[in-house]
Amino acid sequence: MTSNYKIKDVGLASQGQISIYLAESRMPTLMKIRSSFEKHKPLENISIGACLHVTRETAALIRTFSLGGASIALCASNPLSTQDDVAAALVKDNVSVYAWHGNDSEYYDCMRRVLDQKPNILIDDGADLIVLAHKERQKALPTVIGAQEETTTGVNRLQIMSCKKLLKIPVIAVNNAKTKMMFDNRYGTGQGIISVIKALNTLFAGKTAVIAGYGWCSRGMAMRAKGLGANVIVTEIDPIRALEAVMDGFRVMPMAKAIKEADIVFTATSCKDVLTKHHFIDMKDGTILANLGHFNVEISVEDLEKLSKKKVKINEYVEEYELPNGKRLYLLGEGRLANLVILGGHPSEIMDLSFSIQALTAKYLTVNHANLENIVYDVPEEIDKNVAIAKLETMNIQIDTLNKVQEAYVKSFEEGT
Ligand code: ADE
């Protein structure tokens, strides 16, 4: 056990170990990679600084890194997503963890402690760690060989840094891998809408659900809300995505109009002020508000606080705000990632894909970092395909292959009508 840590209670470790054990049993692709890491030690002498949701699935990834030879310091990428028992189990496994549920005030201090351990690879979810390193821990940068970013919001921030020539390390956009984005974002966040059911046991059938955005996450959410019987309205700023939503069978309209009909509003746009006081005033009595985007800026909680004449804590996950016009609105998880706060994050089967990409990307960085510039790269296609192949194998699903004639045909242009 390490002596470098700050968590809630090491005594919770045995419960955390059981939780991690269950997650690992549902992450067969990552476990295959772990076996190879254990044998070949691709991360020998590498130190990793990670800022991730401290969940049982993250623990499965961290333990894979450890068995691959790395030393690890871990902090949380959200104040409310840390599973304290998992943090304790990781400390027992010699990981320096600085995270506890509800840590708002020392959130950035925990990141500083991770950076103080001079990591060679930064693994981030939202880019707070990478941005902090650039802003105030530049001394830590020369020994960093590269970084990996897990989420759309973080990749957006890092691409802006790259465009402005402010990025001082190579970054690999793990989020943009097909086996991440098309599955974690769509099916993981999509299923995350059931956080509303866990929090309030509300019925979806016959309700109007408004989904802000139509990226991969929102697309999944719209699909699942429809599957539960809701009438779905999509709001967008991108004309192509809006058109896609229309052709997928959803009504599309501006938010100002949509919220008048809404029973439940979901946000996952990566943008701020998606819902502000003008929207709150126009909502129906009883409207439920849930954010599934990375940061708690999509629903303006500040506006809601200022506007409301009364606030009642309904349960662990829900607050009721009463507006001066007498209407009551229900906010989930303080406007933070509702699926992380309420459900404990995406299911292990989904994180199996995302974290397999993370593991193989770390290996790739150790081998290839000298050839990389300080820009944002996509995950190499080969890694993406290999993860899909391995996942299909674990599901015992076979696919077809081209025969020689077909292979020659698809590589030629001569044959036509
Ligand atoms: N992001 C979304 N779900 C997650 C999970 N279960 N663990 C870590 N990061 C996540």
Ligand 1 contact, 293 CB (< 6 A)? no
The pick from 56, 57, 83 for probing ligand 1's pocket by mutation, whose C-beta has the most ligand atoms within 8 angstroms, reads: 57
Cα dist. 323→82, 226, 298, 307, 349 in Å?
Answer: 32, 29, 19, 6, 41
For position 2, what pLDDT does the model report?
Answer: 75
Residue 280, domain member (yes or no): yes
Cα dist. 7→54, 74, 88, 170, 192 in Å?
Answer: 11, 11, 7, 31, 27
213 shares its domain with 296: yes
List, for residues 10-53, the tens digit of each pLDDT value.
999 999 999 999 999 999 999 999 999 999 999 999 999 999 99
Pinpoint the alpha helices (H) of 213-344.
216-227, 239-247, 255-258, 277-282, 301-307, 338-343
258 shares its domain with 352: no
Residue 318, domain member (yes or no): yes
Ligand 1 contact, 55 CB (< 6 A)? yes
Q: What amino acid occupies position 232?
A: V
195 shares its domain with 291: yes
- Give, to the nearest 10 degrees, the angle between helix 13-25 and helix 56-67: 80
For position 267, what pLDDT does the model report?
Answer: 97
214 shares its domain with 358: no
Ligand 1 contact, 351 CB (< 6 A)? yes
- In three-state secondary structure terms, 121 is strand
Q: Which residues contact 105 (CB under 8 A, 6 or more apart)?
A: none
Q: In residues, how long is the chain? A: 417
Number of separate domains in the chain: 2
Radius of gyration of the chain (CA): 22
Q: Which backbone phi and psi does 359 adopt, to 5 degrees?
A: -65, -45
Using the mean position of ligand 1's atoms as its centre, give its distance from the Cα of residue 95 in Å.
Answer: 18
Using the mean position of ligand 1's atoms as its centre, give its distance from the Cα of residue 150 in Å.
Answer: 10
For position 387, what pLDDT does the model report?
Answer: 98
Q: Which residue has the tokens 């693994």?
A: 123
201 shares its domain with 278: yes
Domain that holds residue 320: 189-343
Q: Which backbone phi and psi does 68 adopt, to 5 degrees?
A: -85, 0
74 shares its domain with 53: yes
Residue 62, domain member (yes or no): yes
241 shares its domain with 149: no
- Would you state the structure tokens that stand for residue 215, as one six-digit string? 């990226």
Residue 407, domain member (yes or no): no
Supply the pTM of this predicted model: 0.95
List, for residues 187-200, the tens digit of each pLDDT value.
999 999 999 999 99
List, for residues 114-139, the tens digit of each pLDDT value.
999 999 999 999 999 999 999 999 99
Residue 4, domain member (yes or no): no
388 shares its domain with 248: no
CA atoms within 13 A on the CB side of 193: 33
Residue 415, domain member (yes or no): no
Residue 31, domain member (yes or no): yes
139 shares its domain with 251: no
148 shares its domain with 197: no
Cα separation, 379 vs 214, whole angstroms: 23
For position 1, what pLDDT does the model report?
Answer: 78
Residue 140, domain member (yes or no): yes
Q: Which residue has the tokens 């150790």?
A: 366
Ligand 1 contact, 346 CB (< 6 A)? yes
- Would you state the structure tokens that stand for residue 296, as one six-digit string? 């708690």
Question: In the chain, which stretches have pLDDT less than 50?
Answer: none
For position 3, what pLDDT does the model report?
Answer: 78
82 shares its domain with 104: yes
Q: Which CATH number fits the domain that encloses residue 237?
A: 3.40.50.720
146 shares its domain with 233: no
For position 207, what pLDDT does the model report?
Answer: 98
Using the mean position of ligand 1's atoms as its centre, give its distance from the Cα of residue 91 in Å.
Answer: 19
Q: Which residue has the tokens 């406007």?
A: 335
Closest ligand 1 atom to residue 55 Cα is 7
Q: Which residues contact 66 (CB under 8 A, 6 or more apart)?
A: 72, 93, 94, 95
Using the mean position of ligand 1's atoms as its centre, give its distance from the Cα of residue 256 in Å.
Answer: 32
